Chain A
Amino acid sequence: MSTDVKTAALEQRIAPNGIKLPIYMDNHATTPMDPRVLEEMLPYFMEKFGNAASRNHPFGWAAEEAVELSRERVAKLVGATAKEIIFTSGATESDNLAIKGVAEMYKEKGNHIITAVTEHKAVLDTCKRLEKYGYRVTYLPVQKDGVVDLDDLRRALDDKTILVTLMAANNEIGVLQPLAEIGRMCRERGVLFHSDAVQAVGKVPMDVNQQNIDLMSITAHKIYGPKGAGALYVRRKNPRVQVSAIIDGGGHERGMRSGTLNVPGIVGLGKACALCMEEMPKESCHIAGLRNRLRDKIMSRLDEVFINGSMEHRLPGNLNISFAYVEGESLLMGINDIAVSSGSACTSATLEPSYVLKALGTGDDLAHSSIRFGLGRFNTEAEVDYVADRVCETVERLRELSPLYEMAKEGVDLKSVKWQAE
């Protein structure tokens, strides 16, 4: 398809009931920018365009002032102090800096790192690289509901452990880990605790002191801010944490992250955090209501539908469901005026089904049948109702096409069939 045709698909159309199409329900992948964030950023492109490190003139001072305000705003959202916030290009960089930076800085103390199998690739791939350098990494399993077993963590900690890195909320299934307990366990043993909190910040309350967190990765584009702007929280007290820089060149950000600051992006990150700070309690409640409405509408109309991951410990906007006997990509095709994602192998570049769903013990067949909905600030009840209807009618249609549904209805136990795989 030519570029014109691809972007034409993004052009807005209006559905019969007045809803604007396409509908965006993939807020775990990224979020639309809040207009208030954009407004806050604009002056820093053309008028207040100075380099925040230019100490000698008003252009620099204005930029620096904006950066410092953002620093305060980010810190406030997570219960930290401004000096503890380092700006980066995003959460992937923050994860790299936290993990590699600690590994390098504390290598005399030990070489063991603990993480979990359901972490984001930015964490997993960084750990894999450290293994090549001779570090030892333990990948904890998760329970069926997606939560790490604290006993597993306790058993894995040893006297060479220097870092535990566990995400606050999972990007695929939205499951929340018990951060305060994990942090306490680490603190008792003098082990640093890093959390990739990208999906959680701004959506559920985060507090680095209450949760005993020493390092935390944050990004703007999951909270209605710009892409390319993130932060790493690095604790300064009780204990004082240090990380070796992974980018050298000028010593910016207290020597931890060199490079000219992305002032407009940082301003956007700060504003996004400030808005979350104000609006989070009401917004989370509202979004959870929408998510539950979507779930209830789907589950009351369809049978053999399974939610992946704990509903109790979950982000308010996340719904990850498997529709038995229907493959995920074919379902997405049928709802092509709705943007969501799937754990099916067919939707991934590598043809591997979701490793997160696999870690839950979900069979590959149900992993192939999964859809992830990510509701956000700009979704409406009317959109939820429309999506529920479209999903249900598409599943019903595809089940008519499905040999597996037919066999299941005939009473065949699919697990006992000897499949002739290609």
Chain B
Amino acid sequence: MAYSDKVLDHYSNPRNVGSMDKGSLDVGTGLVGAPECGDVMKLQIKVNPQNGVIEDAKFKTFGCGSAIASSSLATEWVKGKTVDEALGIRNTDIVKELSLPPVKIHCSVLAEDAIRAAIHDWKKKQGVAETAAPVGTRASH
């Protein structure tokens, strides 16, 4: 299998590997894929609650080189975007950037799913914090 230079680069020098505190209100965690399928991605975002900007992102991936590269790229791209802008990231953009062959397109799809799952998780946390708090109390989380 011939890998593009960019895939090799992300594989050898992955960006933003690591973990954030799952329990933090500002962190959204997306965990997608399954071990039996050979692809599991965990993507986390730290969002500034004032302006909805993704300030930091971290990932961990169990999967092939293209999967690692797709998720590494995803963390690079979401940083600095608002959550709504990040929702605009399409797997086809990842395919293009990494020159993924057809047999690896599903890796980019999973990366897009991971972004969405992380944002969804964050929004859920924010939603609960916003709506569940009766007057004068703070929501426990």
Contact = CB atoms under 8 A, between A and B. Distances in A.
Given A333-B65, A422-B33, A422-B110, A345 B60 contact: no
Interface majority SS (helix, strand, loop, mixed), chain A = helix
Interface-central residue, A325, A353, A365, A405, by most chain B CB under 10 Å = A365
Interface string B47-74: 0000000000000111111011000000
Chain A contact-residue range equals 20 to 34
Interface in A322-374: 325-330, 333-334, 344-347, 349, 351, 353, 363-365, 368
A260 interface: no
Interface in A376-422: 400-406, 414, 419-422
Interface majority SS (helix, strand, loop, mixed), chain B = mixed
Contacts of B109: 422
A345 B38 contact: yes
A108 to B, nearest CB: 46
Nearest to B72: A401
B133 interface: no
Interface in B1-49: 1-3, 8, 11, 14, 17, 19, 31-42
B62 A329 contact: no
Chain B contact-residue range equals 20 to 34
A349 B36 CA distance: 17
A365 B35 contact: yes
A323 B106 CA distance: 23
B106 A422 contact: yes
Given A400-B17, A401-B60, A403-B61, A420 B32 contact: yes
A346 B64 contact: yes
Contact of A365 (B19, B36, B103, B110): B36
A422 B68 contact: no
Interface in A107-152: none
B117 interface: yes
A347 B1 contact: yes
B118 to A, nearest CB: 12
A6 interface: yes
A345 B66 CA distance: 13
Given A6-B2, A329-B65, A330-B11, A422 B17 contact: no
Nearest to B7: A333
A14 interface: no
Nearest to A334: B11
Contacts of B65: 329-330, 333
Contacts of A422: 32-33, 37, 39, 106, 109-110, 113
A353 B37 CA distance: 9
A1 interface: yes
Contacts of A404: 35, 40, 62
Contacts of A1: 2
A364 B110 contact: no
A5 B5 CA distance: 12
28 contacts: A1-B2, A329-B65, A333-B3, A333-B64, A334-B11, A353-B38, A363-B35, A364-B37, A365-B38, A401-B14, A401-B60, A402-B60, A402-B61, A403-B31, A403-B40, A403-B41, A403-B42, A404-B35, A406-B60, A414-B35, A420-B34, A420-B117, A421-B34, A421-B37, A422-B32, A422-B37, A422-B106, A422-B113
